[in-house]
Amino acid sequence: MSAVCPEGHLSATEDWCDLCGSPIAPGPSPRAQPSRAAGPPPADGQRGPAGAVDEAGPSDGAGPADGADLPPTTRSAAPLTTPPPSAPACPVCTEPRSGSRYCEACAYDFDTGTVPGAPVPVARPSPASHAGPASRSGPPPHSPPRPHLPATADPVAAVRSADGQTVIAGAGAGAGAGVGWVAEIGPDRAFFDRNDDDVDFPDLVTRRQVALAGDRTLIGRRSPRRNVLPEIDLTLPPEDRGVSRVHAFLDHSDDGRLAVTDAGSANGTWIGSDPRPIPPGRTVPLADGDHIYVGSFTRITVRRTC
Amino acid sequence: MVSFRCEVHQNPYLPEDGTQVDAVVTVTVTADVDGAGPAATARPAHGEAAGTAAGDPAGAGTGRAAGGGPDAVEVILLDCSGSMSGGRKMAEAQRAAAVAVDTLRDGVGFAVICGTSGASMIYPDEGLAIVSDRTRQEAKARIGTLAAGGGTAIGAWLRAARALMLLAPDAIHHALLLTDGQNNEPPDTLAEALAACEGVFQCDARGVGADWKVDELRLIATALLGSVALLRQPADIAADFQAVIQTVMDRGVRDVRLRIWAPRGARIRFVRQVSPQIDELTGRAVAVSDLVQDYPTGAWGSETRDYHVCVDVPPAPVGGRRLAARISLLDGEQTLSTTKVEVIWTDDSVESTRINEVVAHYTGQAELARAIQDGIRARQAGDEDSAVTALGRAAQLAAAAGDELTLRRLEKVVEIVDAQTGQVRPRHSVEKLDEMDLDASSTLTVTPKTP
Ligand SMILES: [Zn+2]
Ligand SMILES: [Zn+2]
């Protein structure tokens, strides 16, 4: 789904050019108008970025049925909108296709070959032919987020990546909030580059923080069906599918020490700059500021808080 | 289920060579749970209207977040410094905290913190408690035993709240801060604490009595997407706490961002929330790409907010049309609503010089807030002439907007001879509480008069 504006830009949006703002099709009058409604949301609830599809909220379906998400012109130009049987998986994240237009895992759009968060158009009309380049197609380089604000889909849980501040919990007579360590979780470009995994580096480099409560913290990927409920859950965006369901444990006892143990993960656990993964089952002590690397791109930095 | 709706107010016509595009976007959130419409939720508490309708929670009644933890966390930060022992302050703060605890919804994570030169847990002993009849009773019993003594270290209190918030990363996070005095931490300490807390939780800040600094609490409320208000009497605290907590409990959408696309060559001059209160968002932009910026707006209940967006676009010849901005509300990566700001260049000066009434109204409201703050600052510096000029302009703007509450607050600080022309005279004995009230309320706005 793309169009060419009068100035020759390839635009992912078909009403106005997503680069220069020129009108593409004879549009509505420029009078102020309320938001237009679009069709039902994709099955996985993921939406395109603001610059890609003009949409209203899911329950705001009373507007004109303009069919904004299925324009007939581009669909006829690319009749093979369903992938051939030989390629049923998402070329970006390899999740098997559920039958909906969008990938359940990463919201990749099978019709257009675009991924969310990609305001520039993707020139390839047929996404399913080859797994490699399509996954590298989308977004332009991001400007780095301002240091005082998280650029993240989950700012409530996020912290500044440079946050070395201590957390003061109950500094008075009463007991504190019981926090001795926090883990800061986010993608790491250098680690990603070191790996050869066939996945995308996340569009938005977000970092979040988990306070280590109790005496053990599981690093893994949540699976309620298997009763795996990791405190450090890498199914949260940006999801890292290179992390095993039960990947590694962090042990933090009352004496303030912290250690990591790889629980026999498929892809291993690395610490700092050591080129070898730690042996599964062996407990390795950690120091304030240490980096743990897991999966395809995830770095977990541990920090002491008191 | 909540639905978001965007509506844009603008004059789409620009003169030849015109580049400045102003638009006000009205965002309305409606909850469809149990018929709880927008009327069920009070707007953020004004000093006056404390008693809010205890409406149904707006799409937020489950008590549990997707990850299994509480869906909301409330941390109550009570100033327990030595000065609170004066008069009825401590007793009323305790009563207010108990009312706040009673207003919390079952299943919400909560904690009450006693703030002095550090921060200590009042309830629970550590971590977060989950609201139930039992924990409410326990918390209130513990609140009843509080005694005042010690200093004021607001930065430490906020950091303690932050640590608690991080225990439930998937929840809506809010803190309610009450103080009666000035912070006595080193100057940078509060700023650093705010930087650490930004984006982690929202905070409404309340000052009781006349010994706290409006600028200090405004700094906190602005950084943490909350409001600031003066509570004249200790007896006013409880009703305000109830209103604040009720509003927070009605919020069902955790974290919403305003996303603005502007074309290549354009510059976003400012982005400002203009209703229900003025919040400058320009400096909070997070670049998503070269053309797309995100601005945090915090959690939402059933409510309406207005945003004034001003964009400079590259000029186009007469007859040219351009999309000046695409404005969306996002929850995570999900687009909740989108609207467009389109412009057309014309040589018809009648069209291009017409000012949209909503844009004009909120431009005036922003100037009003600035005029009040400038006037008070000048007054405090002993610069009577500048104070009269600024507060006169404020009276004129308030009158033009039909803003009776602001006129009434102004009247207590200056004698208004003629509001229409902005003629005011200084008053020589002004109650400090009245001046603080005018200052603290300066960012509250009124909506445009309906024609
Ligand atoms: Zn273009
Ligand atoms: Zn996918």
B201-231 pLDDT per residue, tens: 999 999 999 999 999 999 999 999 999 999 9
Residues B390 and B339 in one domain: no
Residues B305 and B214 in one domain: no
Query: pLDDT for A122-148, tens place per residue?
Result: 333 333 434 333 333 333 344 333 333
Q: Tell me: cis bond preceding A238? Omega within 30 of 0 counts.
A: yes
| Separation of CA A17 and ligand 1 centre (Å) | 4
DSSP H or E segment with residue A76: helix A72-77
- Flag whether the ipTM exceeds 0.85: no
**B445 in any annotated domain:** no
Residues B126 and B188 in one domain: yes
Residue closest to B220 by CA, chosen among B248, B193, B249: B193
CB contact under 8 A, B163 and A149: no
| Separation of CA A138 and ligand 2 centre (Å) | 13
Residues B81 and B29 in one domain: no
Query: pLDDT for B29-67, tens place per residue?
Result: 987 654 333 333 333 333 322 222 333 333 344 455 545
Residues B83 and B172 in one domain: yes
pLDDT band at residue B136 using 50, 70 and 90 as cut-offs: very high
**B112 in any annotated domain:** yes
Whether pLDDT at A107 is above 90: no
Residues B214 and B294 in one domain: no
Residues B73 and B217 in one domain: yes
CB contact under 8 A, A176 and B126: yes
CA distances from A7 to B222, B266, B428 (A): 42, 16, 65
DSSP secondary structure of B109-164:
EEEEEEESSSEEEEESSSS-EEPSHHHHHHHHHHHTT----S---HHHHHHHHHHH
- Distance from the Cα of A194 to chain B's closest Cα (Å) equals 25
Query: pLDDT for B392-404, tens place per residue?
Result: 999 999 999 999 9
Measure CB to CB from residue A45 to each of B117, B165, B334 and give the nearest one: B334
| Domain residue limits at B390 | 358-440
pLDDT at A99: 61
Residues B170 and B291 in one domain: no
| Separation of CA A237 and ligand 2 centre (Å) | 13
Whether pLDDT at A39 is above 70: no
User: In this structure, which amino acid lies at residue B104?
Assistant: L
pLDDT band at residue B428 using 50, 70 and 90 as cut-offs: confident
**Count of the separate structural domains present in chain B:** 3
Residues B264 and B325 in one domain: yes
**B190 in any annotated domain:** yes
- Chain B residue numbers touching A166 (CB-CB < 8 A): 159
Query: pLDDT for B76-91, tens place per residue?
Result: 999 999 999 888 899 9
pLDDT band at residue B101 using 50, 70 and 90 as cut-offs: very high
**B44 in any annotated domain:** no
pLDDT at A90: 57
Last residue of a domain, one of B249, B282, B306: B249
Domains of chain A: 1-36+48-85 (no CATH), 149-304 (2.60.200.20)
pLDDT band at residue A266 using 50, 70 and 90 as cut-offs: confident
Q: Which residues on neighbouring strands pair with residue B115, listed in sequence order?
A: B79, B119
- Chain B residue numbers touching A21 (CB-CB < 8 A): 262-264, 266, 313, 322-324
**CA distance linking residue A176 with residue A169, whole number of Å:** 5
Residue with more model confidence, A227 or B96: B96
Residues B275 and B263 in one domain: yes
Residues B111 and B191 in one domain: yes
Query: pLDDT for B337-392, tens place per residue?
Result: 999 999 999 999 999 998 899 999 999 999 999 999 999 999 999 999 999 999 99
pLDDT at A223: 78
Whether pLDDT at A8 is above 60: yes
**CA distance linking residue B75 with residue B23, whole number of Å:** 37
| Separation of CA B342 and ligand 1 centre (Å) | 14
Last residue of a domain, one of B221, B249, B277: B249
pLDDT band at residue A91 using 50, 70 and 90 as cut-offs: low
**B94 in any annotated domain:** yes
Residue with more model confidence, A28 or A245: A245
**B283 in any annotated domain:** yes
**B115 in any annotated domain:** yes
CB contact under 8 A, B167 and A53: no
Mean pLDDT of B125-133: 94
The overall average pLDDT reported for chain A is 62
pLDDT at A100: 62
Q: List the CATH number of the domain containing B431.
A: 1.20.120.1690
Whether pLDDT at B322 is above 70: yes
- Distance from the Cα of A74 to chain B's closest Cα (Å) equals 22
DSSP H or E segment with residue B254: strand B253-261
pLDDT at A94: 55
Measure CB to CB from residue B286 to each of A47, A120, A151 and give the nearest one: A151
Q: Of A110-114, B60-64, B157-161, give the range with the top mean pLDDT.
A: B157-161
**CA distance linking residue B446 with residue B402, whole number of Å:** 8
Residue with more model confidence, B90 or A264: B90
**B368 in any annotated domain:** yes
- Chain B residue numbers touching A158 (CB-CB < 8 A): 199-200
- Distance from the Cα of A1 to chain B's closest Cα (Å) equals 18
Q: List the CATH number of the domain containing B178.
A: 3.40.50.410
pLDDT band at residue A177 using 50, 70 and 90 as cut-offs: very low
Residue of A14, A35, A160 to mutate when probing chain B, most B C-beta within 10 A: A35
E-only strand ranges, B347-450: 414-418, 423-426
Q: Helix, strand or coil for residue A303?
A: strand
Residues B241 and B263 in one domain: no
